Amino acid sequence: MSTTTNLPSFGSRISLAIGAFFKILGDAQYAARVRDDGIGPLSAPTPTPAPAPAPAAAPLREATPDAALQLLSLFQREARLIDFTQENLSAYSDADIGAAARVVHEGCAKVLREHFTIDAIRSEAEGSRVTLAEGFDAAAVRLTGNVVGKAPFTGTLSHRGWRATSVRLPKLAEAHDAKVLAAAEVEL
């Protein structure tokens, strides 16, 4: 039901992926829903009904990577996120990984608090029954499960969703190379 004009940017997808990653680590019920609903990489793909023909897509605009690279750099500086994801974790115990994840979580949360205002899309508690009236914002609410017919739809809220209401990334100097996410360090 969504159109390409309302798809999240690369930077927004990074934020969503990180949030989902930590939500799955910390909430076994949510992880089971992701697996069972067929919405994540933990589940086998489930057949979905053929969608109705989409209206003509609006022209796509080129996304510049500088803001996404800047965000990655901030996550690395405050949370060592790239170090964490590039590390082979097979040699570590779950307790060691959990301790490292806590540091990464705290740093990522700090970056999000400092540089974004993020609000829930839906105010109801997860697990609540909700009704979506005709004309609901299909870019902000994704229907899952057996989607048949037209709105109004009544279902269970499995995730409240997140919306960035403001972004406060630092300005970059013209000569700044945003591709350098973390400089190599040489101790003398």
Tokens of 71: 């965000």
Q: Model confidence over 143-155: pLDDT tens digits?
A: 999 899 999 999 9
Range list of β-strands (E), 11-79: none
Quick check: pTM over 0.75? no
Q: Is 126 within the bounds of a domain?
A: no
8 A C-beta contact, residue 181 and residue 69? yes
Task: Give the integer Cα–Cα distance in Å for 36 and 129.
Answer: 19
> Which helix (H) or strand (E) covers residue 179, if one does?
none
Number of structural domains in the chain: 1
Q: Is 152 within the bounds of a domain?
A: no
Q: Is 183 within the bounds of a domain?
A: no
Q: Model confidence over 32-77: pLDDT tens digits?
A: 777 776 655 544 455 555 566 666 777 888 777 888 999 999 999 9
Max CA distance (Å), the chain: 68
Give Cα separations from 181 to 38, 73, 97, 142 (angstroms).
Answer: 33, 4, 23, 33
Query: For residue 16, what pLDDT band results from cuts at 50, 70 and 90?
Result: low
Q: Is 72 within the bounds of a domain?
A: yes
